[in-house]
Amino acid sequence: MLAIRGIRNSGGYLSESGFSGLRNFQDICHPGNPLILKILIQTITKNRKPPPFPPQAFPPQALPRSPAFATIGGAARWPPASRLPGLLALTDAATFPPPLAHGPLDGVKVLDLSEDIAGSFCARLLADYGAEVLKLEPPAGAALRRMPPFFGDDPHPEKSLFFLAMNLNKKGATLNLDREAGRALFRELLPYVDVVVESYRPGYLASLGLGYETIETINPGLVLTSITPFGQTGPYSQYSGEEIVSYAMGLIMSISGRQDREPLKHGGFQAQYEGGLNGAAATAMALFMRDSVGEGQHLDVSVTECVASTMMATQTMYPFIGATQPRRRASGSNFGHPMPCEDGWIIVQTGGGASWETIADFFGAPELHEPRFADTAERNRNGEELDRIVLDAISRRGKWELFTEAARARMLFGLAQTPPELAQCPQLESRDFYRIVEHPVIGRIKVPAVLFNLSLTPYQYTGPAPTLGQHNREIYLDGLGYTPQELTVLRQTDAI
Partner 1 sequence: MTTPSFSQAQNAFSQAQDGKLPLEGIRVLDSTYVFALPYAGGLLADMGAEVIKVEGPGRPDVTRTGGYSGVFADNDLGEDWWNRPSTYNLIHRGKQSVTLDMTDERGRGLFRELVKISDVVMENFTPRVMRNWGLDYPNLRRLKPDVILVSNTGYGHGGGPYSGYPAQATTQEATHGHCWITGYRPAADGSDGGPAKAGASFVDFLSTWTALFAIGAALRYRNRTGLGQWVDIGMYQAGVMFLSEYVLDAVANGREGGRIGNRHPWRAPQGCYPAAGQDQWITLSVGDDAQWQALCQVMGQPELAHDSRFATLLSRRENHDALDAAIAAWTSGRDRYAAMHALQQAGIPAGPVLTGRDVHFDPHFQSRNFLERAQYPPERKMGERMFIGRPYKFSKSPLRIQGPSPTFGQHNEPALKELLGLPEAQYRQLVEDVVIATTPTTGEPSPVVPQPEALERGIIAAWDADYRQRLGLE
Q: Could you say which residues in the range 275-294 bind partner 1, by CB under 8 A?
A: 275, 277-289, 291-293
Q: How far is the CB of 256 from partner 1 (least distance, A)?
A: 4
DSSP 150-162: BGGG---TT-BHH
Among 4, 244, 342, 364, interactor with partner 1 by CB under 8 A? 244
Enumerate the β-bridge partners of residue 438. 444
Angle between helices 383-394 and 356-363 (to 10 degrees): 50
Rounded CA-CA distance 452/447 in Å is: 15
| Residue 171 φ/ψ, nearest 5 degrees | -95, 165
Rounded CA-CA distance 34/36 in Å is: 5
Among 89, 396, 485, 492, interactor with partner 1 by CB under 8 A? 89
Binding range to partner 1, per CB under 8 A, among 15-23, 314-322, 384-392, 487-495: 314-322
**21 vs 103 by CB, closer to partner 1:** 103
Cis omega (within 30 of 0) for bond into 448: no
Rounded CA-CA distance 459/2 in Å is: 32
Q: CA nearest 19: which of 481, 490, 460?
A: 481
Q: CA nearest 448: which of 243, 164, 170, 150?
A: 164
- Per the document, the length of the chain is 496
The answer to whether the CB of 283 falls within 8 A of the CB of 126 is yes
Rounded CA-CA distance 16/360 in Å is: 57
172-211 footprint of partner 1 as x/- string (CB under 8 A):
------------------------------xx--x-----
E strand intervals along 27-124: 109-112
Q: How far is the CB of 27 from partner 1 (least distance, A)?
A: 30
Among 268, 396, 485, 492, interactor with partner 1 by CB under 8 A? 268
Longest dimension (CA), the chain: 85
Around 432, how many Cα atoms within 13 Å sit in the side-chain half-sphere?
7
**37 vs 264 by CB, closer to partner 1:** 264
Q: CA nearest 388: which of 329, 330, 336, 340?
A: 340
Among 31, 139, 157, 263, interactor with partner 1 by CB under 8 A? 263
Q: How far is the CB of 147 from partner 1 (least distance, A)?
A: 8
Among 34, 81, 94, 396, interactor with partner 1 by CB under 8 A? 94
**26 vs 214 by CB, closer to partner 1:** 214
Q: Which of residues 433-472 bind partner 1 (CB under 8 A)?
A: 433, 442, 445-448, 450-457
**317 vs 374 by CB, closer to partner 1:** 317
Q: How far is the CB of 225 from partner 1 (least distance, A)?
A: 9
**21 vs 229 by CB, closer to partner 1:** 229
Q: Should residue 423 be labelled a site residue for partner 1 when binding is judged by CB under 8 A? A: yes
Among 187, 298, 435, 473, interactor with partner 1 by CB under 8 A? 298
Enumerate the β-bridge partners of residue 228. 302
Which residue type, as a one-letter code, is found at position 241? G
Which residue type, as a one-letter code, is found at position 270? Q
Binding range to partner 1, per CB under 8 A, among 164-172, 184-192, 366-374, 464-472: 164-172
**96 vs 371 by CB, closer to partner 1:** 96
Element (H, E) at 436: strand 434-439
Binding range to partner 1, per CB under 8 A, among 39-47, 179-187, 267-275, 466-474: 267-275
Q: Should residue 340 be labelled a site residue for partner 1 when binding is judged by CB under 8 A? A: yes
Around 208, how many Cα atoms within 13 Å sit in the side-chain half-sphere?
19
Among 41, 317, 391, 477, interactor with partner 1 by CB under 8 A? 317
Among 232, 382, 462, 467, interactor with partner 1 by CB under 8 A? 232
Strand, coil or helix: what is 381? helix
**139 vs 383 by CB, closer to partner 1:** 383
Among 147, 393, 477, 489, interactor with partner 1 by CB under 8 A? 147
Angle between helices 117-128 and 270-293 (to 10 degrees): 50
By CB under 8 A, the count of residues binding partner 1 is: 197
Q: Which of residues 373-402 bind partner 1 (CB under 8 A)?
A: 376-377
**399 vs 471 by CB, closer to partner 1:** 399
The answer to whether the CB of 120 falls within 8 A of the CB of 112 is yes
Element (H, E) at 249: helix 243-249
Among 1, 27, 34, 62, interactor with partner 1 by CB under 8 A? 62
Binding range to partner 1, per CB under 8 A, among 28-36, 96-104, 386-394, 468-476: 96-104
